Amino acid sequence: MMSGTRAIVADDSHFMRSVITDMLEDGGIDVVAQARNGLEAVEAVVEHEPDVVTMDVEMPEMDGIEAVEEIMDKCPTPVLMLSAHTDENADVTFQALDKGAVDFFSKPGGEVSMEMSRLEDQIVDMVTSVARVDPTEEAAASQSSDREQTASRTYLENPTLLIGSSTGGPKMVERVLSELPLDAGFRILIVQHMPGGFTERFASRIDSGSPYDVREATDGDRIGDGEALVAAGGKHMVVSNYRSGRLRVKLTEDPPVNSVRPAVDMTMSSAAEVIDDPLIGVILTGMGEDGAAGIKSIKAVDGTTFAQDEATSAVFGMPKRAIETGYVDEVLPIEDIADGIARAARTDIPDDE
């Protein structure tokens, strides 16, 4: 059954264009045009007005970053970057997200035909989800607000913040971390569905824009107040120990949970089991149901829980599933998430506020 989704596939490799097109069409997506470079991609978008574009990063004449910028200027359309698994491509891919791309999908290297076939369901689901994003609303939601940090506030002792996200999540996570008050003293664990090789760059980007000290998690890492860890791509991040306000994590290659690794549920559930100080759990935009069980675990130990609302979520799957559990305390637009987290950790709020 056709999904009604119309796509353009842009890649400088004829082989990759053919493979991606075949996979999308097998999944019910109508590929209305192909492009060999960014210039052709922009022209095809203007001509065909598709629902979504899959965009290679490195292409001749005009690369993927320039093409995304042109598309957002001339004919705003959801773009999914298809990035090769290299350090250089990781940097460039995040630049494309800055220009307006919704998210990215990591292309396997080497003999791609068999690997891409194995990933067919994932890419079809992701393209279908990205196609539903309004790129103009996505751009507005991604703009950081200029908030003044209010002094003389008191907070709970040793709060731990756990954030889970997937499709459309990188920019949302960056925004939330940039707006959190440092004097709240959170210990922060972030699980963003992202392949290995990208999470280190992602952590560095968050670190550069946040008052918190953010880094990619390594096995045995310990953090205290004012520090944050990003789960490493391809590995679950589990809280293994908590003592005197400092928590330790271990990284595992246990089987995927909810078809993903790292899984939000693994991190949140382990935190609820180990940490006896205040917990705050947040589910941001993403595809699937990961995080719903984790939110239930946090509420079971009297934690506070939030979910991003549908209007500002690129994909409402993960927040929706969390909300459906009945264990989400507040559903908020992305611009209010950081304030909600800070409010939940405060001890100086009057009962009637």
The pLDDT tens digits of the residues spanning 93-122 come to 899 999 999 999 887 654 555 566 667 888
Say whether 290 is catalytic.
yes
Higher per-residue pLDDT: 197 or 271: 271
Average pLDDT, the chain: 90
Cβ count within 10 A of residue 256: 14
Section 12-22 average pLDDT: 91
What pLDDT is attached to residue 121? 84
Residues 312, 24, 120, CA angle at the centre, nearest 5°?
90
Residues 65-100: tens digit of each pLDDT: 999 999 999 999 999 999 876 566 788 889 999 999
Which entry of 51, 56, 103, 193 is annotated as an active-site residue? 193
Predicted pLDDT at 2? 42
Q: What is the mean pLDDT of residues 24-50?
A: 96
Q: Which residues contact 146 (CB under 8 A, 6 or more apart)?
A: none
Pairwise CA distance, residues 299 & 279, whole Å: 9
pLDDT score recorded for residue 143: 53
- Mean pLDDT of all residues in 254-260: 94
* Per-residue model confidence (pLDDT) at position 272: 98
126 within 8 A of 260, measured Cβ to Cβ: no
How high is the pLDDT of residue 348? Answer: 84
pLDDT at 319: 98
Per the annotation, the verdict on 236 as an active-site residue is: no
Q: What is the pLDDT of residue 90?
A: 81
Coil/strand/helix, residue 283: strand
What does the pLDDT average to over 202-208? 96
**DSSP secondary-structure letter at 58?**
S
Separation of first and last alpha carbons in the chain: 51
Active-site annotation holds for 254: no
**Cα–Cα distance, 200 to 214 (Å, whole number):** 10
What does the pLDDT average to over 297-316?
A: 96
Strand 246-252 to strand 222-223: parallel, antiparallel, or no bridges (unpaired)? antiparallel
- Quick one: average pLDDT of 127-136? 89
What six digits make up the tokens of 69?
A: 């910028």
The residue length of the chain stands at 353
What's the predicted TM-score (pTM) here?
Answer: 0.90
Half-sphere exposure at residue 134, Cβ-oriented, CA atoms within 13 angstroms: 9
Six-digit token string for 72 = 């957002």
The residue from 166, 269, 297, 313 that is catalytic is 166
Mean pLDDT along residues 130-159: 71
Catalytic hit among 221, 290, 309, 336 = 290
Higher pLDDT, 148 or 261: 261
Determine what percent of the chain is predicted with pLDDT higher than 70: 89
The dihedral through the CA atoms of 115, 118, 123, 126 has a sign that is negative
Do 75 and 67 contact (CB within 8 A), yes or no?
no
